Chains A and B, each alone.
Chain A
Amino acid sequence: EAQVTQNPRYLITVTGKKLTVTCSQNMNHEYMSWYRQDPGLGLRQIYYSMNVEVTDKGDVPEGYKVSRKEKRNFPLILESPSPNQTSLYFCASSFSPGGTDTQYFGPGTRLTVL
């Protein structure tokens, strides 16, 4: 089954404790992206990647890191999480390298930073 998977689905952590949210897609898509969704603000793009080893900042990259060492995986790293990073996070992938066609989303990761 074609899908985007994220882990963990739910995470409660404390300020400053490094964490990684994994994202994997099995559709051989070129483009992958991370978003956060907050009430009233909609989805905002954190980082995106057009191919292996190619990443770029979205609108809200501060406090996040990403890597794209393999085509299928695009982990999101929070080196020192803070309460303002409490949010619902979605990973997405797209066949087009520019993300200019349909994006397929993972189920989301609900993160709480205390």
Chain B
Amino acid sequence: RKEVEQDPGPFNVPEGATVAFNCTYSNSASQSFFWYRQDCRKEPKLLMSVYSSGNEDGRFTAQLNRASQYISLLIRDSKLSDSATYLCVVNMGGTGGFKTIFGAGTRLFVKA
């Protein structure tokens, strides 16, 4: 089983749609959680950090469920510019070593 799993998609949605991505992780010792965005083989860039209390930034909402070991990302009112690959990232700081594990990514296409 992969340490971080995501549905690869692609998700094809019209502009204005709401789309949700989920990600599961296997190591319960994981400490930090993030969503990154990557455009067409460019460098990944942080979209947002993920907390148990939830985290909202404009049209984007991220949530962490430690009990079920999954992370979610909700995008409301999708824009054409949201088309990208979304990477779920887990950092295992502490006794498990300070490794960073990326999911393989979920591709999103937003169409006019």
Contact A107 B42 (CB under 8 A): yes
Which residue in chain B gives the minimum CB-CB distance to A42?
B104
Query: Contacts A100-B31, A103-B46 hold; do A43 and B102 have CB atoms under 8 A apart?
Result: yes
Using A41-B104, A42-B105 as known contacts, say yes or no to A98 and B46 having CB atoms under 8 A apart.
Answer: no
Tier of interface size on chain B: 20 to 34
Interface size class of A (residues with CB under 8 A): 20 to 34
Chain A residues with Cβ under 8 A from B97's Cβ? 56
Do the beta carbons of B104 and A101 come within 8 Å of each other? Answer: no
Whether A100 contacts B102 by the Cβ 8 Å rule is no
Q: Which residues of A are found within 8 Å of B52, using beta-carbon distances?
A: none
Choose the segment among A12-20, A44-52, A66-74, A76-84 that binds chain B (4+ C-beta atoms closer than 8 Å): A44-52
A40: B residues at CB distance < 8 A: 8, 104
Please indicate the chain B residues that have their CB under 8 angstroms from the CB of A50 in the complex. Answer: 98
- The residue of chain A having its C-beta at the shortest distance from the C-beta of B98 within the complex is A98
A33: interface (CB < 8 Å): yes
**Residue interface bits B34-67, CB-to-A below 8 A is 1, else 0:** 1000000111111001000000000000000000
Q: Which of A41, A59, A90 is the one whose CB lies under 8 Å from B43? A: A90
Task: Kindly supply a per-residue 1/0 record for chain B positions 84-110, scoring 1 wherever the CB is within 8 Å of any chain A CB and 0 otherwise.
Answer: 000100010110011111111100000
The binding surface of chain B is classed by DSSP as loop
CB closest chain-A residue, reference B33: A100
Residues of A within 8 A of B103 (CB): 42
Contacting residues, chain B, for A45 (C-beta < 8 A): 99-102
Give bound CA distance, A102 to B100, whole Å: 11
Cα–Cα distance between A108 and B49 once the two chains are bound (Å) = 23
Residue B32 interfacial (CB < 8 Å) = yes
- CB pairs A–B below 8 angstroms (24 shown): A31-B98, A40-B8, A41-B104, A42-B105, A43-B102, A45-B100, A45-B101, A45-B102, A56-B98, A58-B99, A59-B99, A90-B43, A96-B93, A97-B98, A98-B93, A98-B94, A100-B91, A100-B93, A101-B32, A105-B43, A106-B43, A107-B42, A108-B41, A108-B43
List of 4 A-B pairs having minimum Cβ-Cβ separation, nearest first: A42-B104, A105-B43, A98-B93, A43-B102
